[in-house]
Chains A and B, each alone.
Chain A
Amino acid sequence: MKYLIILIALIALGTIAYFALGGPAAEPVLAPTQEEEEQLPVAEPQTLSSGTTVTYSDQGFSPSQVTVSVGDTVRFVNQSSREMWVGVDEHPTHTKYDGTSKNDHCPGTTAFDQCARSGPGTSWEYTFTKTGTFGYHNHAGAADVGVIVVQ
């Protein structure tokens, strides 16, 4: 019985470690070529001349990682059936952008934090003003995550 419990615990920890350290293969960074951009359907979100669009669906954020320049605006479009609240990591404090927590910087526009829920069909934009790699998540569904690299 004791060995069985130890075995179950090890399997559980191994499973957790798999998801936590590696997990399923990350979605590749999308850098659409001119040809790919032209093939995009009109209704689909696409890279805009004024910024980058990240789509939030029931499967999560797509692309899961984007690279932008300082001063670029990223638009997050909620095409899911759920609510979206984009917030920089970690959940739930959102301190990894400028050191302030959600309770300090919300409501506001300084931190990479939507500071509010938005329903399906809505969008939210944020302009990045400093370089860095910023992990983010949906505050209303913390398993859905993404990364913005600002160069």
Chain B
Amino acid sequence: MRSPLTLPVPELLLRTGVAFSFLYPPFSALGDPYSWIGYFPGFFMSLAGANNVLMLHAFGIVEVSIALWILFGKNIFIPSVLAGVTLMAIVLFNSPQFLVIFRDVSIALAAFALAYQHKPQTH
């Protein structure tokens, strides 16, 4: 774990931006879960059945974990790829709502930029 304040400003901004997009939804979902459940793919909802709110909060824990890893981690290739793929999946599974979620594409590309910056070195 490293303090984010020791990072170069551009990387700090990138990390904070991506992490914020994963920190806001799980906390917002505590008060208004159905505004967020709606973004899950239908087959997820069918699988979860009556436990859909529980599934949402479980996913929220994953989101917080990714955010904190990106914010405080030293090697953040894995969480950055996870973040980018998750955001792209949200966009693809909710394409009819593209007017609302188009920003996720930008955040996903920022996450991929972080991943590229921290890609494992081959010797």
Contacts and interface: CB of A to CB of B under 8 A. Distances in A.
Nearest to B95: A19
Nearest to B105: A16
A83 B92 CA distance: 21
A15 B97 CA distance: 15
A58 B98 contact: no
Contacts of A144: 42, 96
A142 interface: yes
Contact of A141 (B40, B88, B112): B40
A8 B93 CA distance: 18
Contacts, number: 78
Interface string B81-109: 00000001001111111111010010001
A92 interface: yes
Given A16-B92, A141-B45, A92 B40 contact: no
Closest 9 CB pairs between A and B? Answer: A19-B95, A92-B35, A20-B98, A142-B38, A145-B96, A82-B45, A143-B94, A81-B46, A142-B97
Interface of B: 32, 34-42, 45-46, 49, 52, 88, 91-100, 102, 105, 109, 112, 116
8 contacts: A5-B112, A9-B109, A20-B95, A58-B42, A82-B46, A137-B97, A143-B96, A145-B97
